[in-house]
Amino acid sequence: MNLLSWSLYGVLCLVLAGCGISPVVYDQKNDPAQQLSQGLSGTSELCHPDRLTNAQAQEQPGPFSALIPTQALAASANGKRVCWGGGLRTIEAVKGERDCVVMLYAELSPKIIWGWPREASFFMACGPGHYDRKLLQPFTLGLISGKVMGQAEFAGVPIPVIEIEAFYRASDCLQGDTSPQCVHGHIQPQKKLQ
């Protein structure tokens, strides 16, 4: 906590104590947002699909690069592996039985679950097969790993394109909620578009 947060906390405690109300104690161990934050801070685990065997994981072409989408527009970024998080903007089927998603890029860190940069940037991720449209709707949060494969244009601006290796669908639901919109984990494309 920074100094301002501690100061506000102290004033709140004094006000509540004066009213005879005891402050609520924050239970960090059982906070779903904190658990999600800890999971996303170790993005390397979420960037690999659960289905990879040890042999397949070792065949992956090297570690992830620390590039952000604007840096991935450089020709030198082609072929580098990245793992980016963001919010789904669009999803569409393209030629060759493939889906492409455009995501609003989010910065991930241990202290901030999803940090939206001041200057919005987008990226496109494409892969074989079609993803369930019930699971991927506008504003769905996700984490996608893959190789930088070139550029596309979105809203008149060049954006990087990556080939999907793994797609992790995040959820902001409370822990234990089993509603369909709360599904989280690695998702796989379907055989046919529904």
- Asked if CATH classification 3.40.50.720 holds for the domain at 32-186, the reply, yes or no, is no
The string of pLDDT tens digits covering residues 70-94 is 999 999 999 999 999 999 999 999 9
The pTM assigned to this predicted structure is 0.69
* Domain parsing of the chain, residue ranges: 32-186
User: CA nearest 77: which of 142, 156, 146, 153?
Assistant: 146
The string of pLDDT tens digits covering residues 131-145 is 998 889 899 999 999
The answer, yes or no, to whether residue 44 has pLDDT greater than 80, is no
Supply the mean pLDDT for the chain: 74
Poorest-pLDDT segment among 18-32, 77-91, 97-111, 140-154: 18-32
The string of pLDDT tens digits covering residues 162-172 is 999 999 998 87
